[in-house]
A and B are shown apart, each in its own frame.
Chain A
Amino acid sequence: AQTVTQSQPEMSVQEAETVTLSCTYDTSENNYYLFWYKQPPSRQMILVIRQEAYKQQNATENRFSVNFQKAAKSFSLKISDSQLGDTAMYFCAFMKLINTGTASKLTFGTGTRLQVTL
């Protein structure tokens, strides 16, 4: 079974600064995806970024980037130039590939609540 650990229950960052959220996971699988989801107060689950395990290059989406260390089973999220709208709960999630292209469940971490302050 897979497990995902987010060791920072809460974090705070000032507007325009950079913050890194940590995530580690445990799996014996070789083919999988990793995701970061954002959950603002509206409770929606919004995909922030995803990383395919077979890709060595770290994924980037505008101000969001990841540091994917496959051997260390680490998948941290860096938010640059933080904005007030980034205030949310952030979840790290793991998804294994059952067969080529077949979807499977997401295993979530417990979340990190990020507060962006003025």
Chain B
Amino acid sequence: EAQVTQNPRYLITVTGKKLTVTCSQNMNHEYMSWYRQDPGLGLRQIYYSMNVEVTDKGDVPEGYKVSRKEKRNFPLILESPSPNQTSLYFCASTSEGQPQHFGDGTRLSIL
């Protein structure tokens, strides 16, 4: 089954404690991205990757890092999380202009 898998689904943590949200896809897609969803703002792109070792900033990259060492994985790293990063996060993948496949979302709460 084609899917994008995010972990964890839920996380409550404290300010400053580094965390990583993993994302893995099994469709051999070149393009992967991270979005955050906030009430009244829709989804906004954080970072994206066109292929292995190729990443770039999206619209709201501050406070986040990513890496793309393998084609299937695209982790999102919060080195020093802050409360304004409390949000719902989605990983997505796609290829050649196809609709993006989304993971099921990760709800992050940073206290």
Q: Do A and B bind each other?
A: yes
Besides A45-B92, A106-B35, A106-B92, 16 other A-B contacts (C-beta < 8 A): A33-B99, A42-B104, A43-B104, A43-B105, A44-B104, A44-B105, A45-B102, A91-B42, A95-B97, A102-B97, A103-B30, A103-B98, A103-B100, A108-B35, A110-B41, A110-B42
In the complex, which residues of chain A have a beta carbon less than 8 angstroms from the beta carbon of B74? none
B residues contacting A by CB (< 8 A) are 29-31, 33, 35, 40-45, 48, 50, 58, 88, 90, 92, 94-100, 102, 104-105, 107
Pair A101/B96 contact, Cβ less than 8 Å:
yes
A43, A95, A105, A111: residue with the most chain B Cβ atoms closer than 10 Å:
A105
Q: A35 vs B42: C-alpha distance in the bound complex, in angstroms? A: 14
Q: Mark A47-90, 1 if CB is under 8 A from B, else 0.
A: 10010000000000000000000000000000000000000000
Q: Is the CB of A103 within 8 A of B42?
A: no
Judged by a CB distance under 8 angstroms, whether A16 is at the interface is no
Cross-chain contact B45 with A105 (CB below 8 angstroms)? yes
